[in-house]
């Protein structure tokens, strides 16, 4: 038993060592998400609303390079089950999912060259990527006064604080900047940002969009939903991971018990 | 220690095989009937745990190489594809990434165990040196593996570490360009790191073979440090230590699985989920936790070359350790002074790790008031690190008076058992489980 | 150390044996648990080599068919290989329907939409394909349409259209002649051109796969 304590202590010590020094003025506000904890899962409705916020607000400037429309209908995705004729239908292959197909088809993409070598636009299919706002990094920089809006595919994994950070950042524009801080034009004070100065203007205001499911679109609600959406997009297999983890843990604990019994049995006649 | 073989082939096939290539005999003598001291504690299960770690890394690594693309434009995306689209890719990558940390966790336990029980002392010097070679190879493999996802920490970690070689006089710049295959870390660098990252684990497996060979000639050391004298001191490896190691491995798996399934990114760095960008340096470049103590030693010296020399010296000193420790007694169980210095050494290593993770200019919590920043802390602990090997261990052998040691392993075991029984009968209750 | 150790069965120095049933049960249960766990661990390592989600996402494609005029053919790529989509002329259909089924080298339709059916023209044409609910497709059009994997059943070459002795498809590699329903008539190919699973998902589009 001493060994286990030692191992755990060493592991925790290692974690403490890896923790970074905070350079923002404020740590993200704690917030309870449905996916927190070892049994937490994504709230499909929240992810759907967050996707709407992303598409209608964020996607004007931020791309999600690694996302495909089919991911929305994958196992664990927001549109895995969709209502058809008043019934919830599950599609194992997101390609056959009419809601995912309809969402994808709203956006155009350059198709394969035709027989004359001309490239024509066609509606997107589930296998296609989310539309990207820029053709290249330079264009993105030029369009945003030199600050390239980061890709959001894995944003909650790429920032300490994850979804709480996103939510806090989106709502973090109301603080009074310190008196000695000189903000250049096009910069904003946001204490949750690394360095506390951000080039993104405040985005969310009450009633900015109207949710398809009728939820009231307060800034608070949108920030929470979009954080929820990014958490799912960054870690789409979280639910499978946690449920498999539970099985593995139960198995390992049983196996440890059996092996300990075997060990005791084998050593029962030996002084050691 | 490896006496005459007790293997007796029982069937025609095994007799036929045994007279041509006695591989079954080798396995039998090495892992079934191998005489092992009967008093090995759980610290000795880390050898078995490390073998399992190596196999896990090789198997998951081969699988990941089937999906990974070693190209600067596609590496990050291919890792994302593994996480999102490859069947169980998220699981296999998580095992590989967490596995690297678990491997180092186990190897540090293994090394500290060897330091405490004097497992590096004669006749096991070569065994120890081979172990240090494995450790060096592990660090090389881990460093190159961390570059492969081509995130910000991958790129800038590769930049910082390769640039260290630039500190070498005269040949510095040519050596760095040779390592890069260009004038900066780039696609060529990524490709060669991928190739070497695939190669090194097999080198490790080879050296592990030598390590086990070198172990099986003198046999295991043990917590008393007393050499095996009679048959009563040992037990056959199977079933006694297969079951004990097996139990230890499963306990280790529980910690491993906890990280894989519930905290997969805890041991990594968030910045590595940002694609590599040669134009933007992360605000705070740190290596993975298992290399932090060496990073602190590197930064303890104001001169880059001096830092590099000291950092490699920190590992180099391990090679000559068997001849630095002058004590006649192996185990620190019987070395009243040495065990204190060893305790401080463990704390120094942890402290160096802490100093390596922090900004050197920041004050140490609690000690900032007296002007101690992490740089100073790193320097003091670096001095202790080297003093432990170069001053304390050589001198202690002459000045320390060891405690009385039991006559044999068997005597030590029976003494302990008697003490345990005495304690149990005092507590007027049925003897609890051990 | 030259002593020979006791064999594992030798157990303790006093030679005392524990009651065998309980001991055996623990050993068997432990061994069984390890074996079962090992089998479960194997699966992810096997399954990772199966087609990934992005590959599966392209395993079914949608392609328009309604713009094809009689006598026109397009080739589309599906699962890494070419597929012919042909709107046959009246003459081609008539020629295909005249053939005596008993005289065919391969009498199976080789149609995944109607498995095991005889190689009649109807079973080869789009009449055999499923039509999604609420979609109306003209029967004449379905009779005229034919969808086939464009790989010769001999060794996989791509046959040339409107060619060969039967004015269907002709494989230049080893001289296999297919008729206007894509059935093998002469040459080394053993089977009719294969027909992939496909469905009419709208008045203008079929989904292959």
Buried b (16+ CB within 10 A) or exposed e, B97-108: bbbbbbbbbbbb
Is the pLDDT at B11 greater than 70? The verdict is yes
Q: Which residue has the higher pLDDT, C100 or B342?
A: B342
Give the Cα separation of C151 and C117 in Å (integer): 21
What tens digit of pLDDT does each residue of C81-101 get?
999 999 999 999 999 998 888
Overall average pLDDT of the B153-182 stretch: 94
Strand, coil or helix: what is B317? helix
User: According to the model, what pLDDT value does residue B209 have?
Assistant: 97
Mean pLDDT of all residues belonging to chain A: 89
ipTM of the assembly? 0.91
Q: Which residues of A touch C14 (CB under 8 A)?
A: 269
Q: Which two tokens stand for residue B193?
A: 């790191």
Cα–Cα distance between B117 and B338 in angstroms, integer? 11
Per-residue model confidence (pLDDT) at position B225: 95
Is B91 in contact with C50 (Cβ distance < 8 A)?
no
Q: What's the confidence (pLDDT) of residue B62?
A: 97
Q: How far is A38 from chain C (nearest CA, A)?
A: 21
**Percentages of chain B per state (helix, strand, coil), in multiples of 5:** 70, 0, 30
Please name the residues in contact with B267: beta carbons below 8 A apart, sequence gap of 6 or more.
A14, A15, A18, B97, B98, B101, B259, B288, B289
pLDDT score recorded for residue A12: 43
Residues in CB range of A151: below 8 A, 6 or more apart: A62, A63, A64, A65, A66, B275
Q: What is the mean pLDDT of residues A257-266?
A: 95
Secondary structure of residue B430 in the 3-state scheme: coil
pLDDT at C28 (0 to 100) = 92
Q: Which carries the bigger pLDDT value, residue B428 or residue C52?
A: C52
Give the total residue count for chain B.
434
**Residue C18 sits at the chain A interface (C-beta within 8 Å):** yes
* Predicted confidence band of residue B368 (pLDDT cuts 50, 70, 90): confident
Determine what percent of chain A is predicted with pLDDT higher than 90: 74
pLDDT at B303 over 80: yes
Dist CA B43 CA C14 (whole Å):
29
Query: How do residues C114-170 score in pLDDT, each as one tens digit?
Result: 988 999 998 999 999 989 888 888 888 999 999 999 999 999 999 998 888 998 999
Q: What is the mean pLDDT of residues A32-54?
A: 96
Q: What are residue A68's DSSP bridge partners?
A: A129
d(C-alpha A77, C-alpha A172), whole Å: 28
- Band of residue B285 on the pLDDT scale cut at 50, 70, 90: confident
Q: C87, C174, C177, C194: which one is catalytic?
A: C174
Question: Any CB–CB contact under 8 A between C41 and chain A?
Answer: no
> Given this model, what pLDDT does residue B363 score?
92
Question: What's the confidence (pLDDT) of residue C1?
Answer: 36
Q: What number of other Cβ atoms are within 10 A of residue C123's Cβ?
A: 20
A184-188, B97-101, C99-103 — most confident range = B97-101
Does residue B431 surpass a pLDDT of 70?
Answer: no
Question: Residue C180 in contact with residue C162, Cβ under 8 Å?
Answer: no
**Which chain B residues are within 8 Å of C29, Cβ to Cβ?**
none
Checking B302-306 for CB contacts under 8 A at 24+ apart, the result is B304/B164, B304/B167, B305/B167, B305/B168, B305/B169
Residue of C nearest to A98 (CA): C201
Strand pairing partners for C73? Answer: C86
Q: Give backbone dihedrals phi and psi of C37, rounded to 5 degrees, phi first.
A: -60, -45
What is d(CA A169, CA B166) in angstroms, rounded to the nearest whole number?
41
Please say whether the beta carbons of C64 and C205 come within 8 A: yes
C38-72 pLDDT, tens per residue? 999 999 999 999 999 999 888 888 888 888 898 99
The pLDDT, as a whole number, for residue B300 is 94
Residue range A59-113, pLDDT digits in tens: 999 999 999 999 999 999 999 999 888 889 998 888 889 999 999 999 999 988 8
> What is the mean pLDDT of the segment spanning B34-55?
96
Is A26 in contact with A189 (CB distance < 8 Å)? no
Average pLDDT value over all residues in chain C: 87
- The pLDDT of residue B3: 63
Which structure tokens are listed for B301? 């010296």
Distance from CA of A43 to the nearest CA of C (A): 23
* Contact between C88 and C145 (Cβ < 8 Å): yes
State whether the Cα torsion B97-B102-B103-B105 is positive or negative.
positive
**Three-state secondary structure readout of chain C:** CCCCCCCHHHCCCCCCCCCHHHHHHHHHHHHHHHHHHHHHHHHHHHHCCCCCHHHHHCCCEEEECCCCCCCEEEEEEECCEEEEEEECCHHHHHHHHHCCHHHCCCCECCECCCCCCECCHHHHCHHHCEECCCCCCCHHHHHHEEEEECCCCCCCCCCEEEECCCCEEEECCCCEEECCCCCEEECCCCCCCCECCEEECCCCEEEEC
- The reported pLDDT for the residue numbered A195 is 87
* B432: three-class secondary structure by DSSP: coil
Q: B80 to chain A: which residues are within 8 Å by CB?
A: 66, 153-154
- CB distance B33 to B238 below 8 Å: yes
Compare CB distances from A17 to B83, B289, B417 and report the shortest one's residue: B289
C98 touching chain B per CB within 8 A: no
What does the pLDDT average to over A30-52?
96
The answer to whether residue A135 scores a pLDDT higher than 90 is yes
pLDDT of A11 strictly over 50: no
CB-based contacts of A9, cutoff 8 Å, min separation 6: none
In the structure, what pLDDT confidence band is assigned to residue C22 with cuts at 50, 70 and 90?
confident
Q: Has domain B26-281 been given CATH number 1.20.810.10?
A: yes
Phi/psi at C62 (nearest 5 deg)?
Answer: -110, 135
Domain boundaries, chain B: 26-281, 286-403
Closest CA to B264 of C7, C100, A53, A162: A162
φ, ψ at C207 (rounded to 5°): -110, 120
Residue pair C124/C183 in contact (Cβ under 8 Å)? The answer is: yes
Global pTM? 0.89
Q: What is the pLDDT of residue A183?
A: 87
Rounded Cα–Cα distance for residues B226 and B392 (Å): 23
* C4 has pLDDT over 90: no
C103 — pLDDT class (breaks 50, 70, 90): confident
Q: Cβ separation of C54 and B81 shorter than 8 Å?
A: yes
Q: What is the pLDDT of residue B50?
A: 98
Tell me if C60 and A93 make a contact (CB, 8 A cut-off).
yes
Higher pLDDT, B114 or C62: B114
Question: What percent of chain B is modeled with pLDDT above 70?
Answer: 97
pLDDT band at A145 (very low <50, low <70, confident <90, very high): confident
For this structure, is C194 an active site residue? Answer: no
CA distance linking residue B67 with residue C183, whole number of Å = 40
Q: Does B87 touch chain A (CB under 8 A)?
A: no
Nearest CA among B45, B271, B71 for reference residue B153: B271
- What average pLDDT does chain B have? 94
pLDDT band, residue A24 (cuts 50/70/90): low
Neighbours of A83 (CB within 10 A): 9
Chain B neighbours, 3+ Cβ pairs < 8 A: A, C
Query: From CA B206, how far away is CA B381, in angstroms rounded?
Result: 34
Residue C137 to residue C127: CA distance in whole angstroms: 10
Q: Where are the alpha helices (DSSP H) in A34-161?
A: 44-56, 98-105, 137-143, 155-158
C13 touches chain A (CB under 8 A): yes
d(CA A67, CA A60) in angstroms, rounded, equals 16
Q: Across the interface, do A68 and C30 touch by the CB < 8 Å criterion?
A: no
Q: What is the pLDDT of residue A95?
A: 85
Does the pLDDT of residue A1 top 80, yes or no?
no
Number of neighbouring beta carbons within 10 Å of residue A255:
22
Structural class in CATH, domain B286-403: mainly alpha
Average pLDDT over residues A184-208: 92
pLDDT for the residue A23: 56
């Amino acid at each position: 038993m001493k060994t286990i304590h030692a191992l755990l202590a060493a592991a925790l010590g290692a974690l403490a060592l890896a923790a970074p020094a905070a350079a923002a003025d404020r740590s993200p506000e704690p917030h309870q998400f449905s996916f927190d904890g070892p049994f937490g899962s994504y709230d499909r409705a929240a992810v759907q609303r967050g996707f709407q916020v992303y598409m209608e607000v964020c996607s004007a400037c931020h791309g999600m390079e690694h996302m495909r429309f089919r991911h929305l209908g994958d196992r664990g995705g927001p549109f895995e089950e969709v209502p058809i004729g008043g019934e919830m239908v599950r599609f194992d292959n997101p390609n056959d999912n009419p809601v995912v197909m309809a969402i994808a088809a709203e956006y155009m993409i350059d198709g394969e060259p035709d027989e004359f070598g001309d490239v024509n636009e066609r509606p997107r299919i589930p296998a296609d990527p989310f539309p990207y706002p820029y053709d290249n990094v330079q264009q993105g920089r030029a369009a945003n006064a030199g600050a390239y809006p980061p890709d959001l595919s894995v944003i909650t994994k790429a920032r300490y604080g994850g979804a709480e950070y996103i939510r806090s950042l989106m709502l973090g524009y109301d603080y009074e900047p310190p008196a000695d801080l000189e903000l250049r034009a096009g910069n904003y004070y946001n204490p949750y940002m690394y360095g506390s100065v951000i080039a993104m203007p405040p985005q969310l205001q009450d009633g900015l969009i109207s949710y398809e499911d009728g939820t009231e679109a307060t800034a608070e609600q949108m920030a929470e939903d979009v954080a929820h959406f990014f958490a799912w997009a960054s870690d789409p297999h979280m639910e499978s991971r946690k449920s498999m983890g539970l099985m593995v843990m139960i198995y390992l604990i049983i196996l440890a018990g059996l092996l300990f019994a075997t060990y005791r049995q084998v050593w029962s006649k030996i002084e050691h | 220690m490896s006496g005459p073989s007790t293997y007796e082939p029982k069937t025609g096939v095994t007799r036929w095989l045994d007279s041509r290539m006695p591989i079954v005999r080798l396995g039998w003598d090495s892992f079934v009937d191998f005489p092992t001291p009967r008093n090995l504690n759980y610290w000795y299960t880390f050898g078995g745990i490390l073998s399992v770690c190596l196999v896990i890394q090789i198997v998951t690594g081969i699988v990941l190489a089937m999906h990974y693309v070693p190209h600067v434009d596609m590496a990050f995306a291919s890792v994302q594809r593994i996480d999102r689209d490859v069947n169980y890719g998220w699981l296999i990558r998580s095992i590989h990434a967490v596995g690297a940390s678990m491997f180092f966790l186990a190897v540090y336990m293994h090394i500290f165990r060897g330091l405490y029980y004097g497992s590096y002392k004669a006749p096991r010097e070569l065994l120890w040196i081979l172990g240090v070679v494995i450790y060096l190879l592990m660090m090389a493999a881990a460093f190159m593996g961390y570059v492969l996802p081509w995130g910000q920490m991958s790129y800038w970690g590769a930049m910082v570490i390769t640039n260290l070689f630039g500190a070498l006089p005269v040949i510095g710049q040519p050596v760095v360009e040779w390592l890069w295959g260009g004038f900066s870390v780039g696609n060529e660098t990524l490709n060669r790191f991928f190739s070497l990252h695939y190669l090194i684990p097999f080198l490790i497996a080879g050296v592990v073979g030598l390590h086990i060979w070198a172990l099986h000639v003198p046999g295991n050391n043990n917590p008393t440090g007393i050499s095996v004298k009679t048959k009563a001191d040992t037990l056959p490896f199977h079933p006694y230590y297969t079951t004990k190691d097996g139990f230890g491995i499963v306990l280790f798996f529980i910690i491993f699985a906890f990280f894989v399934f519930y905290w997969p990114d805890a041991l990594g760095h968030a910045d590595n989920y940002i694609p590599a960008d040669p134009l933007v340096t992360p605000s705070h470049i740190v290596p993975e936790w298992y290399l932090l103590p060496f990073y602190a030693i590197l930064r303890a010296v104001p001169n880059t070359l001096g830092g590099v020399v000291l950092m490699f010296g920190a590992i180099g000193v391990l090679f000559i350790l068997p001849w630095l420790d002058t004590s006649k007694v192996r185990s620190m169980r019987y070395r009243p002074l040495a065990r204190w210095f060893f305790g401080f050494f463990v704390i120094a290593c942890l402290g160096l790790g802490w100093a390596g993770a922090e900004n050197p200019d920041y004050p140490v919590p609690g000690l900032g008031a007296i002007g101690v920043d992490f740089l100073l802390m790193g320097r003091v602990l670096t001095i202790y690190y080297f003093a432990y090997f170069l001053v304390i261990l050589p001198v202690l052998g002459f000045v320390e008076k060891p405690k009385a040691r039991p006559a044999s392993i068997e005597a030590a075991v029976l003494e302990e058992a008697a003490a345990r029984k005495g304690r149990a009968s005092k507590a007027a209750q049925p003897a609890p489980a051990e | 150390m030259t002593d020979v150790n006791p064999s594992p069965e030798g157990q303790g120095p006093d030679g005392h044996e524990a009651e065998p049933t309980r001991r055996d049960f623990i050993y068997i249960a432990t061994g069984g648990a390890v074996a079962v766990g090992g089998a479960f661990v194997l699966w992810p390592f096997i399954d990772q080599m199966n087609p990934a989600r992005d590959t599966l996402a392209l395993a079914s494609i949608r392609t328009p068919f309604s713009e094809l005029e009689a006598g026109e053919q397009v080739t589309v790529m599906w699962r890494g290989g070419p597929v012919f989509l042909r709107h046959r002329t009246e003459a081609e259909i008539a020629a295909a329907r005249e053939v005596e089924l008993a005289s065919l080298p391969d009498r199976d339709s080789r149609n995944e939409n109607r498995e095991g059916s005889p190689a009649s023209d109807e079973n080869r044409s789009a009449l055999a394909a499923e039509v999604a609910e609420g979609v109306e497709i003209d029967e004449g059009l379905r009779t005229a349409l034919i969808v086939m994997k464009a790989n010769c059943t001999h060794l996989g070459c791509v046959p040339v259209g409107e060619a060969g002795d039967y004015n269907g498809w002709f494989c230049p590699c080893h001289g296999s002649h297919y008729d206007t329903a894509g059935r093998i008539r002469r040459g080394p190919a053993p089977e009719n051109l294969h027909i992939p699973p496909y469905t009419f998902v709208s008045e203008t589009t079929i989904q292959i796969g």
